[in-house]
Structure 1
Amino acid sequence: MKPAGAYRFRRAIRPFSYTVAMAACGLGTVLALQQGYGNVWLALLIIGAGVLIQAAVNLINDHADLPVLESRLQAAEGEARQEWAQAIDQVQRHHLLGMIFFGVSLLIGLGLVLIQGWPLLVIIILGLLGGYFYSAEPVHYKRRGLGVVLVFWFMGVLLVGGSAMAMGAPITLSLLAVSIPFSLLTSLVLLANEIRDHQEDRRHGLGTLTVRIGLEAGRYLYVTMLVGAYLVSLGLWWAGLLPWVWQLLFSLPLAFVPLMKVINLQADRSDLPPLTGKLFAVFALLFLCAFMLELVL
């Protein structure tokens, strides 16, 4: 169980995770701009809405811990009791703020629906439901072992495709194919959290994918997804869907450290999620540069 101090706003907001929303929405909008759809201001609005959704997901994530926190409060005494009471209050306030962020992003989405048409509304509703029920009951698909799989679709494929659609571009198979490396690395960030928290999640009965398939299988899955992101990128370049692929080589040093932490059974994996997040950020920037340079040139 996390300590009471882990529920403070600075940790609940999880700043390193925003590269996911910015990169996915950025890729979708850049691909749309390449095809002549939308404009830079519309792209910035869409990226802003994506960041709001990511912030909302982060802030409501701890709400599922309330029953455990309340049991800790009942068992605590003195100063510890005050700390757990404060943690409960923070979780409730963060949940409210997260719901406000969901509401603001929905309003932005509805405005875009008026411009682009009702099919976009389906994408927006799916995205909001996917973000909310990541850790909310009665679905809470993270504890059902579906987090890594559904994040691939909701925060990867759907976010890239939906951003392009919000710009007015049609969703094509080539566009969805280009989203696969981002989707793999997005799920990889979540998998890194599951691998780090495997023992604690198993102890508290949280049935994440890594708990269900076992730590060893989770480690193999991490390596497969990481290598897969580079291999898929190479395939996209070979198929003419990615202008350049050589620039991704500069991200390989950042891939080496988390890869070794996963492979080495005795390694300290406490920093695996931020290391994976840093890799995602650099990979995404280099990946996007290929399309942005082609757009400018």
Structure 2
Amino acid sequence: MIAEKYLFRHALRPFSFSVALIVCLTGILSAYREGFGDPLLASLILMAGLLLQAGVNLINDYADLSQPNLQLSSASQQQIRFNFNLGLGCILFAAVIACYLIAVSGMLLLLFSVIGIIGALGYTMEPINYKRRGLAVFLVFWLMGVLMVSGACYVLAKELSHSALLISIPVSLFVSLLLLSNELRDFEEDTAAGIKTLTVKIGYARASQLYKALMICIYLGCLALSINGSMPFALVVLLSIPFVIKPLKLLALDKGARQPITKATGRSFLIFGICYCSALLF
């Protein structure tokens, strides 16, 4: 029998697609604010981002095959391998799109793409496997945040933008927060399996404090962008604050009751992202 977490619909983690959507859209709108726009290129950027996100999600469980503490059925192992192969296909498709975008924008995007693909594969794959090294929360800030926003903007503007870099910071922090929520949700399972995520290494209490600190930094970052004029209407994100209350409350609950924290954080990220991208239009 296949464990529920390995079923395709769960392994795909569609609620996390908001990450690729919002991150890429932030880069696209950053370029738009500077006078650069191309509907075809923007569509390809979004497609590549969503494919990469799907690929990362589907290969995420592959490391479980090498965990001696996990007793996986034969059906679960087959499903993990199926998801993994499909995930590699998504990443390959994203790489094909990236090749076209490199051709029309510049070779700097090649560097971004290589780093991004290595980062996607290295999330749970050996010998990198930065998830079990406790580096995932830090690295996704750069790989799925700053790098993707800057890369999306670069495709359209054909140059690196200091403004886009600054604008990427609050969104990138929220990406790290979403991954941290995943670690907090799975704290007991990861501890039992010997998976040394950041949350396992520093303990649940400190990881919860980090979650709260990141949330505060996200909104302080928006305030800073509004004050320095990089994004005058950034404070529209305050409309999303009611949606961050639920995941903050879930932090204090026990294992069974806090399971919705990742979906709740993903929902708050989506609302935040919609507000954030709306602010970029003005």
Distance 1:218 1:123, change over 3 A: same
Match 2:214 to one of 206, 225, 232: 225
**In structure 2, how many angstroms separate the alpha carbons of the residues matched to 1:71 and 1:287?**
41
**In structure 2, how many angstroms separate the alpha carbons of the residues matched to 1:266 and 1:142?**
23
Structure 2-normalised TM-score?
Answer: 0.95
Q: 1:58 corresponds to which residue?
A: 57
Match 2:188 to one of 195, 199, 209: 199
Please report how far the alpha carbon of residue 70 of structure 1 lies from its aligned counterpart in structure 2 after TM superposition: 10
Deviations 1:94-142 (A, max 9, x none): 1111111111111111111111121110000001111110111111000
Q: 1:120 corresponds to which residue?
A: 109
What fraction of aligned residue pairs are identical, expressed as a percent?
Answer: 39
Deviations 1:32-52 (A, max 9, x none): 122222412210110110000
* Structure 2 gap ranges (5+): none
Match 2:245 to one of 246, 251, 256: 256
Deviations 1:16-46 (A, max 9, x none): 0000001010010111122222412210110
**In structure 2, how many angstroms separate the alpha carbons of the residues matched to 1:272 and 1:117?**
40
One-letter identity of the residue aligned with 1:134: Y
Matched, 1:142 2:131: yes
2:58 touches 2:83 (CA, 8 Å); kept in 1? yes
Superposition misfits of 4+ residues, deviation over 2 angstroms: 67-73, 264-268
Q: Secondary structure at the match of 2:60?
A: helix
Distance 1:70 1:276, change over 3 A: closer
**In structure 2, how many angstroms separate the alpha carbons of the residues matched to 1:69 and 1:53?**
29
One-letter identity of the residue aligned with 1:133: G
One-letter identity of the residue aligned with 1:213: I
Structure 1-normalised TM-score?
Answer: 0.90
- Equivalences for 1:145-224 in 2 at 5 Å? 145-224=134-213
Please report how far the alpha carbon of residue 71 of structure 1 lies from its aligned counterpart in structure 2 after TM superposition: 6.7
Deviations 1:65-84 (A, max 9, x none): 113489735xxxxxxxxxx2
Matched, 1:287 2:272: no
**In structure 1, how many angstroms separate the alpha carbons of the residues matched to 2:78 and 2:152?**
35
**In structure 2, how many angstroms separate the alpha carbons of the residues matched to 1:168 and 1:139?**
33
Give the aligned CA root-mean-square deviation in angstroms.
1.7
Matched, 1:44 2:33: no
**In structure 2, how many angstroms separate the alpha carbons of the residues matched to 1:117 and 1:71?**
45
* Structure 1 gap ranges (5+): 74-83
One-letter identity of the residue aligned with 2:221: V
**In structure 2, how many angstroms separate the alpha carbons of the residues matched to 1:67 and 1:123?**
30
One-letter identity of the residue aligned with 2:55: A
Q: Secondary structure at the match of 2:55?
A: helix
**In structure 2, how many angstroms separate the alpha carbons of the residues matched to 1:164 and 1:241?**
15
1:196 touches 1:270 (CA, 8 Å); kept in 2? yes
One-letter identity of the residue aligned with 1:249: L
2:59 touches 2:83 (CA, 8 Å); kept in 1? yes
Q: Secondary structure at the match of 1:142?
A: coil
1:37 touches 1:169 (CA, 8 Å); kept in 2? no
1:134 touches 1:142 (CA, 8 Å); kept in 2? yes
2:106 touches 2:158 (CA, 8 Å); kept in 1? no
**In structure 1, how many angstroms separate the alpha carbons of the residues matched to 2:103 and 2:37?**
14
